[in-house]
Amino acid sequence: MNIILIYRTFYVFFNVIEIILFVYIISSWLPIPNGIKKILLNLINPFLDPIRFLLRRSIFNTSVSDFSPIIGIVILSYLQHVLSELILLQLV
């Protein structure tokens, strides 16, 4: 039973971060008050700063677009898949 609880906790955690990332992406296109953008940045910057640091030294370094939220979603999806497989292996 504890493994199922751990699995659900990780699942909810990753989904919440993905939702915050999607809201951040949408907020970059729409005129949203600065207070809401500041809250989103405070929530998501600890996750996106390492990705931005790596992107500065890659071919995706552009001054026009920020690809870090998209890459963050890909990384989160991969981590969610790997952790779910590891947890489900414990059930077998």
Say what the pLDDT of residue 92 is. Answer: 67
Residue 56 token pair: 């500065």
Is the pLDDT at 83 greater than 90? The verdict is no
pLDDT for residue 72 is more than 70? yes
Per-residue pLDDT at 78? 93
Reply yes or no on whether the pLDDT at 1 is more than 80: no
Contact assessment for residue 40 and residue 23, using Cβ atoms and an 8 Å cutoff: yes
| Distance from C-alpha of 10 to C-alpha of 58, rounded to nearest angstrom | 30
The pLDDT value given to residue 60: 67
What is the per-residue pLDDT across 3-50, written as a single tens digit (0 to 9) for each? Answer: 788 888 888 998 998 888 888 888 888 888 888 888 888 888 888 888
